[in-house]
Amino acid sequence: MVYISSLKKNVLPIMLKPKHDELFTSWLCRMSVEYGLKPHTFLQNYLEDKAPPLRRDLDLFENNHLMNFIINHTLFPKNKVRRLFLNELNLFAFKDFQEKKSYISNVLPLGVSNRKIGINTGIQYCSSCLKYQLYYKTKWRLVTSVICLRCYTQLKDQCPHCKSPINFLKIYTSSNTSTVEKLFLNQCFKCKQNLSVDSDLVKATSSEIIYQKFINGSIKNGFNTFCNYSFHYIEALLHFSLLLGSSRQKNTFRNYILDIYKLEIEPNKTHIHYWSVEYRRKILPVVNQFLQSNPTYEELKFYQITKSYIDPENRLPFWVYQKFNL
């Protein structure tokens, strides 16, 4: 540490400024590499027994020890540090965020691979962004994110070379030593290939762009033209998306959407948290169109779409019932 008399505190000798919309673990890895240490070793060196384990999802909420350490030993203001953590999006991208919860409705889990149930998804990323800006963004952790509005390309959640799920923390936890080489965040932890070298970049469609702009704008503003609270809109979006993707036999909402929009979408037996980004791209923009549409009472009645069917546990926000006269 270096003591700065004008600040009256000891500060880290190397301080990398957090990038726009950067995740905490992304910033932690970049800092650790600058010090030639693994992320956990870096935390242990400065936080000792108060260092949180990396097996926890450290991006979800700001740990008090982490927050105090960063604020007390860097030049970064508290509001900038808090933006590294996903709970800053509480009441914007989701609601009822609690530190002890491991399940957050609009937050994707870390890399998951299970061949038996066909799950092989990881942290999302944009190949083009990683080519020029080596960091991971908070928006890439959201279920509702499917494309990059900076590059207008579809997001990915698997390595283009070996198809492994993405978990960049594993880049720095593969050996027994406490030090690391100058490894960068655009490397696949499994095959060591560069994620930004991708011959299969897919441009976002116009419907995907319209959808993502609307969702990102709703989260940024905290509301939209259809709902006073953005998290209420997203709650309905995820609810109806689960219905549309459901594999249950009698699914009148699924039948309605496939007929009205002339679509063919295969059902999915897993929860929306484990859907691949490719599958979410098929579902979310369509449901977004439905929520902004004006179906007639006769249409809904014909397909037997009632309040008791759509929401038997009365979980949906009132604006949905009001809009669709359910």
Joined tokens for residue 110: 């870390």
Residue 202's Cβ-count burial label (10 Å; 0-12, 13-18, 19+) is middle
pLDDT-based confidence at residue 259 (cuts at 50, 70, 90): very high
The residue with greater pLDDT, 134 or 114, is: 134
Checking if the pLDDT of 172 tops 90, the result is: no
191 falls within a domain: no
Residues 218 and 233 sit within 8 Å (Cβ to Cβ): yes
In angstroms, the CA 301 to CA 299 distance is 5
The residue with greater pLDDT, 173 or 93, is: 93
In the listed set 51, 69, 89, which residue is the last one of a domain according to the structure?
89
DSSP 203: B
Please write the tens of the pLDDT for every residue from 34-68.
999 999 999 999 998 889 988 889 999 888 899 99
DSSP string, 304-323: T--HHHH-TT--S-HHHHHH
In the listed set 63, 89, 115, which residue is the last one of a domain according to the structure?
89
The pLDDT value recorded for residue 20 is 95
In angstroms, the CA 320 to CA 209 distance is 24
The pLDDT value recorded for residue 116 is 59
28 falls within a domain: yes
Helix runs in 152-223, H state only: 206-221
Per DSSP, the chain holds a count of helices (H) and strands (E) of 12, 6
26 falls within a domain: yes
The pLDDT value recorded for residue 97 is 67
The pLDDT value recorded for residue 117 is 57
Please give the share of the chain, as a percent, with pLDDT higher than 90.
Answer: 65
pLDDT-based confidence at residue 186 (cuts at 50, 70, 90): very high
Number of domains comprising the chain: 2
The CA-to-CA distance between both ends of the chain, in Å, stands at 62
Angle at 94 between CA 248 and CA 144, to 5 degrees: 60
Phi-psi region of 92 (alpha: psi -120 to 50; beta: other; left: phi over 0): alpha
Report yes or no on whether pTM surpasses 0.85: yes
Joined tokens for residue 96: 């009822």
Checking if the pLDDT of 7 tops 80, the result is: no
Average pLDDT, the chain: 90
Query: How distant is the alpha carbon of residue 179 from its chain centre?
Result: 29
The pLDDT value recorded for residue 118 is 59
Checking if the pLDDT of 325 tops 90, the result is: no
The pLDDT value recorded for residue 147 is 98
In the listed set 52, 71, 89, which residue is the last one of a domain according to the structure?
89
In angstroms, the CA 226 to CA 125 distance is 29
The pLDDT value recorded for residue 119 is 67
Structural domain range at position 270: 219-324
Please write the tens of the pLDDT for every residue from 65-82.
999 999 999 999 999 999
Residues 94 and 106 sit within 8 Å (Cβ to Cβ): yes
144 falls within a domain: no
67 falls within a domain: yes
267 falls within a domain: yes
In angstroms, the CA 45 to CA 152 distance is 41
pLDDT-based confidence at residue 110 (cuts at 50, 70, 90): confident
In angstroms, the CA 310 to CA 252 distance is 9
pLDDT-based confidence at residue 9 (cuts at 50, 70, 90): confident
95 falls within a domain: no
235 falls within a domain: yes
Closest CA to 237 of 249, 224, 220: 224
In angstroms, the CA 274 to CA 268 distance is 10
